[in-house]
Structures are given as structure tokens and as C-alpha cells.
Structure 1
Amino acid sequence: MTHLLCGLAANTALPSELVDRLIAVADTDIAVDLAGRADLSHAQAVTLASRVEDSRVYLAHQGLLTAADVDPEVDPHAALALLHERAGRAEWASLFAADPLPEHREKLAGCPGLPSDVVEALAADPDVGVVTELALWTPPDVAARLAEHPHAEVRRAVATNESTPPAVLAALITGVGLPPARGCLVCDRQPTPFVHERDCPRPDCDLLPGASCDGSHESTLHDIRMAAAGNPATPAEAVVGFVDHPSMQLRWELAARPDLPPEVYRRLATDPVPGVRADLAENPEIGDAVIRMLAEDRGHDVQRRLAHNPHVPLDVLTRLATTTKTGATLLPRIAAASAGEVQELARSPIPAARMLVAQRRDLPPEIRDTLAADPDAKVVKSIAAHPGLTDVQLRAMVDGHGVRVLARVAANPDASAGLLEDLTRHEPPVDKAFREVARRRNASARALLACLAHVQARPIAARHPALPPSVIVELLTDTDRQVAEAAAANPSLPPTVMSDLVPRP
């Protein structure tokens, strides 16, 4: 029964009085759907919060509870959520800064806009987790001071913080100008030297695999360098030396940076790790020479990622498209193509080039119509969802290419209700086409009934308001709980049935 009430809680047509009745019987699962209602009033939110404790944090984050509705001593989690949304009372921050529970102080440390005295208190907190959380978000002056914190884990958080001053980030990499760290998470827990085994049998152990400390906190220092290398605020000159570092992770962090010298990109293009080269391939700043090097790279995912580089030359992209699966997506370089380039691609003798440009949804009518009549099924599949195509054109696509284009034709925003019905009768059927039809607002009852015969389309169709009410009611008892819940969420479910489903308190 709970799944039906969850569906009702999400039903946009549920009358307000039934929302009140649902609140009165709600459990945690039902409360999640109720809290997500766009029409939930403040009074209803307050009642729901009083009934279901687990809903309070979500309601606070959604702005449905105010500071007047929350007592921080009774419900600290909701109060902290309001502070995170800058909707709590100023005195709450001081209250939580002195809270005996470290998890409350740690949650506070992640809140924006804290008073300076509270920030100072948190920066001096005896719990490393609290200071680490503060270091992730704190402003530049505090971050600079926390870079000298005796615990290496705090310094790692400072290295992640994009507000940390560049000179401080550089110092975290070299250690120059900073006092040595005196502790890390490893030596806090284990006598040194210690290396955490990757298959640790202890269920209560929270150290990362491979974490180690011989007194120098080496694994955390490595993590600090990784964090700084991936931080866009870190000066390029502080990280270029990692290009030949034995650590794969450090080299990998460099690959996505947009501010490195051309020589560094060229050396990364020959890195032995395919993942490094794949991240590099999508970097828009690597330059034409490196792009052409990577275009010949058969390493895992390198060429596919290169196709997504916004600066890849069209001739390279066309070659890649003939051998690489780029997915049914509009690539950045194609989205940025000029009018002349669009015409050139559409007229290309290479089907892959025409397929790429056919993914655009703003083509001039004459180009759109030419591609719609293309002899290549992949091109037609790419253009089939383009707005502005007529039923005659869409039917011609199905007649010419059958199951290869059926789902994309069903997704066309201008496909008529009659065409959608015909697509559900196509032989052989295409499961994905039924899912697309079930999502269409203009799908007819007849088309939706056909969709109900297909497992993956069934829950989508069960939620469609064009289904006959009698069918929706029948689906409430479906053996598939997902289908039954979708039927309960259907706005065409008769109000009397909605009322019968909701228990009276």
C-alpha cells in the first residue's frame, strides 16, 4: 500500500484536503514525495515536519521551513540545513560552534557566510574533521593560515579549496615556507611505519587502500599535491614538473588543465596511461598539433573523447566519426560550426560527416529536409528528431529505414498522434519506440494501451494523463509496484479513487 500512497503524494492533481490526510499518515517514504510537491503550503510543510522527523532537513533546504519553525536544540539537523541555506538565525552559528558533538560542528563548518568569530573558533577546533571541512570552503585569508595547520589532512583540504591564494597552493606542493606537518589520518590510528593493505579485513577501518605513513605522512602529502595539481588556482609553473612524475595520478591531474605550456601537452600525449591521454584529448587548449597526434591514438576512449573537444578540426572530427562511436549527441565542435561549415558538412560525401551535423536542432529548413531524405540510415536516424519535419517526411523515414529509425521518429516533437499510433503497430516492434511514445504528451489512449504491453514502457505509460481512467484504476493493482505507483501518480486518476486510497487518520 505504501507505494500507492507514494504515487499519490506525487500526483499533481491531488486535492489539498487529501494532501492533509496523507501528511497525517505519512512515513519517511511518503514524506519524500510530499516534500517535493510544488503546491505544498508552508502550513502543510510545518505539519509534515512535526509528523516525520526525516523530512525536516529536506524541507529546510527547499525553503519550506523558516527559522521560526525550527528549534536548534530540538532539531539541530534542520537548523544546520537552514544555516547552510543562509536562512538560519545568526546566533545559531555561535551555538553550534560550541556544540559538544563534532558532527554538528563539522556540518556548521560547511555553511557559507559564517561570522568571523565563528570561523576563528572552527579553525581552532580540536577535531581534525571540523577544521578539514572548514578548510574546504573558507575564504583566502583563513585558507592561507590553515595551510600551516599541523595536520596534513587539513592541508589537503586547503589544497582543494579554489579560494586558497596561488602562492599558498604552490607552497603546499613544495613544502617550502611551511612548517612540517605533525600528523595524518594514518599515524593518528596506527604506529608507523604502516601501509594500509588494499584488502583490509577490518570492517571498521576507514583508511583508504594504500594509505601509508613512515613518519613523513607520505600518502597524504601525495594527496595534497594531487589536490593542488587539480586546483585551477594553482600556478601552472608549480605543477608542470609533474609531467614526468612516476605517479600516474599526478600526471592525470595535469591532463585537464587549460594553462600548461604546449610542450607539456605534447609529452602528456605520449603518456603510457590511456586514461591520461583520454582526459588530455578533451582538453580544449591542447592545440592542433597534439589533437592530430591523439587522432591516431588507439588507446581506450582517447579518440571518442577527442571527438568531444570543442576545438577539434572538422577534417579530424570527420575521420574520427567514421571509426569511433561518438553517441547520439551534438558534439561541441558541431554546435559551434558556422553556417558555411554546416553546409559543407551536410553536402559531404562521407555519411559520418552528414550524421554529425544532423544532430543539430537548428538547421535551415532546406538542409534539414535534404538530410531527412538521406539514403544513409544513420544520417536519417540523427535528423529524425529535428523539429519542423512533417508527418509525410517522418513516415518516409520509417518506410525507408524501418526499425533503425523508429525510436527517433517517435521522439520527434512534431510527430502527430496518428503517426505515434502507427509506430506502435510497426512490425517488427521496437521496445525503445514504445518508451518514446509513452513520453509524448500528444500520445493517444490507443497508443498508450499498446505501450502498456511492453515492460519498460509500461510504468511510463501508466503515468500518462491520456490513459482512460478505468485503465488507470486497473493498474493500481498491477503486480509491478513501479507500474502501480505510476498509476497512483497519474493526474487523471478519479478523485473518488484517490480519496478511497488515502487512509483516514
Structure 2
Amino acid sequence: MHPVLCGLAANPALPAELIDRLIAVADTAVDSALALRPDLSHVQMVALASRADDTAVQLAYVGRLTAPDVDPVAQPRAALALLDKRSGRPEWARLFAMDPAVEHREKLAACPGLPPDVVETLAADPDVRVVAELALWTTADMAARLASHPHAEVRRALAANEATPPAVLAMLVTGEGLPPAERCLVCDREATPFVHDQECSLTDCDLPPGASCDGSHESTVHDMQLAALRNPATPAGAVVGFADHPSMLLREQLAARSDLPPEVAGRLVDDPDAGVRGELAENPSIGDAQIRALAADHGYDVRRRLAHNPRVPLDVLDQLAAEIRISSHPLPRIAAASPAEVEEMARSKNPALRMVLAERRDLPNGIRDALALDPDAKVVKSIARHPGLSEAQLRAMVDRHRVRVIAKVAANPDASAALLEDLAGHEPPGHKVFREIARHRNATAPSLLACLASRDARSLAAGHPALPPHVMVELLSHDDWQVAEAAASNPSLPPAVMSELVPGR
């Protein structure tokens, strides 16, 4: 990979004639960067696609290539990408359905809108990986037909498919109405009973760690049950029995279901595993009784996850904020608070609750301004990025709380160039302040030069268009490849310098 050429490939100011020269000398990494450019001509896109299969796939998926641009024999992956986007030709699907390469048939099986005859061919494919991939994405009719497939891997895939009819999903979970599965990936390859080593050292082994079969295909059945529990189309009545299952993973997934009956939620509140109770705590379908019981749960992460439940009452959230460390990111319940609740929280005596409220970016001006004057630094840090704050308010925050808030003040979209320059020279320097300045639209040359002294901010500053051009040129030869690439991607890099950097003049 050539960092400077990669940077130039992404530079929005790169002249059209240099794009042609770059295409002629590009490697795979540069091709990939060029493929993201919105200003490529059709000729340039076809030229890029012809050079590397990965680039052709990339261009196909973003809609820059069409069927006439692709030869399915020479570029099978690009053709499959177009089929996946419903932009390929039906005859391609028939070609790939008989392709000797299993990976091509498997990819085809995941494509939507295939001709019926192709679907039938894939459903009868001799390789179970192809049939399982079809089962994962197919329509309800074919899913119902595949439910009695003798291979457990196909049934596992069906259990994850949201198009599988609910009645079929129930049969997969309970086993009622279906013949037992005859094979799984484990007993296809090993004499049973067999348990795959968690630390298997075989480089050509693709069995999952811990996969096992004693004749009942137990690990695949477990994965099928897990997939069915994750599938919102699976009827709740078919899965409530997992509340007492010995598998913690299955109970966790049950606890996360949005259609969880109240009586089952009540049983899971007392589950011995904190992970299960944590999933339940974050579930918006649980009732007030479960929420209040979990608010007193000291199991690992349970109360923090309860704070992220969009239905947690404000009095419970107030209690949680006072007792545990809550993320400063916006909480769903705070985002949904009514105007009256917002006013109530702004007057709370609990600074942690005021802090999470301050993360909202749509606060009324009066509440925003009151929180900007809050005596608690963590509240001010949360409000500092709020748009609409004046320069005087931002400077007052720094005067009162100094290094504790300067990074957040620097992240305010309305921070002026003069303020950013002052923050860049603040003593002591604040943690992360240089990164915020280096990515700010109002940053000027003096503050960006200060950012170059920070290892964490250097590459961001190198790509900022306000950096002096002579500094960009110096950074092109920087020891850190990320800095060199960022400098080359800078739209303010002089065109003459760009031309010198691209071979082929």
C-alpha cells in the first residue's frame, strides 16, 4: 500500500486528468479508494473494475456498474454482487446455479428474487452449505418445504429466517410435526460421540469451537434454538419454556424478546445469571414491577442496562443515576421525556441526572443556558457541545471548570476560531482537546499547528483544509503513514504538488 497515493485517491480536489493517471498505476488499496469517488466517469469505473475483482464487487454494490459492464465468466464475484442487488441477468443465475465452485453457488443462494427454477436447483444442491444459505434467505413457501430437510444445518438456518412461517418456526423449536434430523456438520465429518476441541489447531478445520454430536446433533440444535429465539417471527408460546433451560445463552435471548409474557419476565427476574437479568433489564416490554425489582439488583451490569430501558420511570432513573456510573451518552428515556419532565430533571438535586439530561441536543434555550451555569463539571461537560451556546458562555465554562471541560467546549460546533486557538494553548492541555480542534470546521492554522504536536490528533490536523500548504507538503513524507495519507487527501494540497506525486507524467 502507498499511503500518499491512497490519500490522493480520496482527495476530493484531485483533477480529472490525475485520476486517469492514478488509475493506470494504482494497486488494490488505491483502487478501493478511487472506487469511492463520486466524480468518476463511467469509463473510469469500468477501467477500475477490470483491474481488480474486489474493486468490481465494490462498484457493483454501490450501483456504479450495471449488467452490460460485467462479464460473469471473467468477473463472477461482480456478477453475483449485481444479482444480489437485483441488477443482474436471470441467465447469470442459471449459470452460477451449476457452477462447480461451491462458494459461487452459496453466494447465489443468498440473492433475492431468483428465478423459480434456480431456487429449485439450489434447494437440491448436493452441498449442504448451499442449501443452508438458501434456507437463511428464502421465501415462506420454500422455507416451509425445507423444514423437513434431513440436515440439521438447514433447519438451523431456517430458524434465523424471518420469512419462515411462525408455525414452521414453532415446529423447529419443539420438534413436533417434523421428522428428526439425520445429520449435522459434526457427524458428517467425525465418528460420534464427538466434541470439537475449543483450541483446535488444524488450519483447515471449519467446525465451530465446542461443536458436538452424540447422535442428537446437540450443538446444532442449540444453535437452531438460539436463532429461533432471536427471530421475532417465532411465536412466544413456542419459546417460553426456555425460561428454565440449562443454557444461559438461551435464557438470555428469551429475556430480550419484545413479546415476553409478564409471568415469564417475573420468573427471569430471579434468574441465577446476571447476564440474563441484564438482558431483561434492558427489555422495553417488562412491567413496572420487574423494573423496580431490577433497580435493586446488584448483579454485574444489571442496573446500568436498566438505565437504558426506554420505559424506566424517572424516579427509578434518578435512583440509578445516584448509585451507579451511567454513560454520558443520551439515554432512551431521557430522549423521550416530555417538556414537563425535562424541566423537572433540570431542577433535580442529582447532578448525574442533570448530566444525562444535558446530553440532549434539543433542549429549550432556557434549560440549556441554566445547565451551562451548573456548578457540577460533569453536567457542564455534557452541555458544552450543545449548539446555540454563545462564545461568552463557552468561555465562562472554561474559566470555571478549566481542563475538565475544554475538550467538550472545543467540540461545540459554534466554537469560534479565536476560542479554538485559546484552547489549543491552554495550560495544562486537556485530554482529547487537540483531536476535537483538529476535526473542527472553524480551526485555523495556529491551532492546527499546535495539534500536530499531539500524536492522537496529528493525522486529523494533516487533513484539515486550513492547514498551511507548505506544512501539508512536509507531512507527505511523515514517518506515520496515516499522517502522510491524510496530508495527501487534503483538498487544499496544491494541484502542482498532486501532479508531482502521481507517476506517469
Q: How does 1:280-429 map to 2 (within 5 A)?
A: 280-429=280-429
Task: Give the corresponding residue for 2:83.
Answer: 83
Task: Give the corresponding residue for 2:468.
Answer: 468
Distance 2:450 2:490 in 1: 18
Q: Which runs of 5+ in 1 are unaligned?
A: none
Q: How does 1:104-503 map to 2 (within 5 A)?
A: 104-503=104-503
Partner secondary structure for residue 492 of structure 1:
coil
Distance 2:142 2:163 in 1: 10
Aligned-residue offset at 1:213:
1.3
Aligned-residue offset at 1:227:
1.2
Distance 1:201 1:440 in 2: 48
Task: Give the share of equivalent positions with the same residue, in percent.
Answer: 70
Over residues 215-255 of structure 1, what are the superposed CA-to-partner deviations in whole Å (9 max), with x where a residue is unaligned? 22122112211111221111111100110111112111101
Distance 1:245 1:52 in 2: 50
Does the Cα contact within 8 Å between 1:150 and 1:182 map onto a contact in 2?
Answer: yes
Q: Quick one: structure 1 residues 375 and 431, their matched pair in 2 at CA, closer, same or farther if it must change by over 3 Å? A: closer
TM-score, reference length from structure 1: 0.98
Residue 368 of structure 1 aligns with an amino acid whose one-letter code is R
Distance 2:443 2:429 in 1: 17
Does the Cα contact within 8 Å between 2:10 and 2:34 map onto a contact in 1?
Answer: yes
Aligned-residue offset at 1:326:
2.2
Over residues 313-339 of structure 1, what are the superposed CA-to-partner deviations in whole Å (9 max), with x where a residue is unaligned? 001111111222222211110011000
Distance 2:423 2:231 in 1: 51
Task: Give the corresponding residue for 2:46.
Answer: 46
Aligned-residue offset at 1:129:
0.4
Partner secondary structure for residue 239 of structure 1:
helix
Distance 2:451 2:201 in 1: 49
Task: Give the corresponding residue for 1:95.
Answer: 95
Distance 1:95 1:305 in 2: 50
Distance 1:81 1:287 in 2: 45
TM-score, reference length from structure 2: 0.98
Distance 2:252 2:17 in 1: 57
Residue 418 of structure 2 aligns with an amino acid whose one-letter code is G
Aligned-residue offset at 1:197:
2.3
Q: Which moves more between the two structures, 106-115 or 209-218?
A: 209-218
Distance 1:326 1:123 in 2: 50
Distance 1:73 1:481 in 2: 38
Distance 2:21 2:422 in 1: 43
Distance 2:431 2:339 in 1: 37
Distance 2:80 2:313 in 1: 50
Q: Which moves more between the two structures, 5-14 or 201-210?
A: 201-210
Distance 1:5 1:266 in 2: 60
Over residues 283-330 of structure 1, what are the superposed CA-to-partner deviations in whole Å (9 max), with x where a residue is unaligned? 001111111111111212111111110000001111111222222211
Distance 2:133 2:283 in 1: 30
Distance 2:64 2:43 in 1: 9
Aligned-residue offset at 1:267:
1.4
Distance 1:431 1:290 in 2: 40
Q: Which runs of 5+ in 2 are unaligned?
A: none
Q: Which moves more between the two structures, 268-277 or 390-399?
A: 268-277
Does the Cα contact within 8 Å between 1:86 and 1:112 map onto a contact in 2?
Answer: yes
Distance 1:200 1:100 in 2: 29
Over residues 461-505 of structure 1, what are the superposed CA-to-partner deviations in whole Å (9 max), with x where a residue is unaligned? 000000111111111111111101100000000000000000007
Q: How does 1:8-19 map to 2 (within 5 A)?
A: 8-19=8-19
Does the Cα contact within 8 Å between 2:404 and 2:430 map onto a contact in 1?
Answer: no
Distance 1:69 1:230 in 2: 40
Q: How does 1:17-28 map to 2 (within 5 A)?
A: 17-28=17-28
Q: Which moves more between the two structures, 203-212 or 71-80?
A: 203-212
Aligned residues: 505
Distance 1:242 1:295 in 2: 24
Does the Cα contact within 8 Å between 1:26 and 1:52 map onto a contact in 2?
Answer: no
Residue 91 of structure 1 aligns with an amino acid whose one-letter code is E
Aligned-residue offset at 1:84:
0.6
Residue 302 of structure 2 aligns with an amino acid whose one-letter code is V
Over residues 245-286 of structure 1, what are the superposed CA-to-partner deviations in whole Å (9 max), with x where a residue is unaligned? 111121111011011211211211221211111111110011
Residue 20 of structure 2 aligns with an amino acid whose one-letter code is D
Q: Which moves more between the two structures, 450-459 or 192-201?
A: 192-201
Aligned-residue offset at 1:59:
1.2
Q: Which moves more between the two structures, 203-212 or 161-170?
A: 203-212
Does the Cα contact within 8 Å between 1:431 and 1:456 map onto a contact in 2?
Answer: no
Does the Cα contact within 8 Å between 1:23 and 1:51 map onto a contact in 2?
Answer: no
Residue 304 of structure 1 aligns with an amino acid whose one-letter code is R
Runs of 4+ in 1 over 4 A off after TM superposition: none
Distance 1:436 1:115 in 2: 52
Note the aligned Cα RMSD (angstroms).
Answer: 1.1
Residue 138 of structure 1 aligns with an amino acid whose one-letter code is T
Does the Cα contact within 8 Å between 1:463 and 1:486 map onto a contact in 2?
Answer: yes
Does the Cα contact within 8 Å between 1:304 and 1:325 map onto a contact in 2?
Answer: yes
Distance 2:367 2:492 in 1: 41
Distance 2:459 2:52 in 1: 28
Partner secondary structure for residue 329 of structure 2:
coil
Over residues 135-184 of structure 1, what are the superposed CA-to-partner deviations in whole Å (9 max), with x where a residue is unaligned? 00101010011111010000000011011111111101111111111110
Q: Which moves more between the two structures, 43-52 or 333-342?
A: 43-52
Over residues 366-421 of structure 1, what are the superposed CA-to-partner deviations in whole Å (9 max), with x where a residue is unaligned? 11111101111111111111111111110110010011111110011111111011
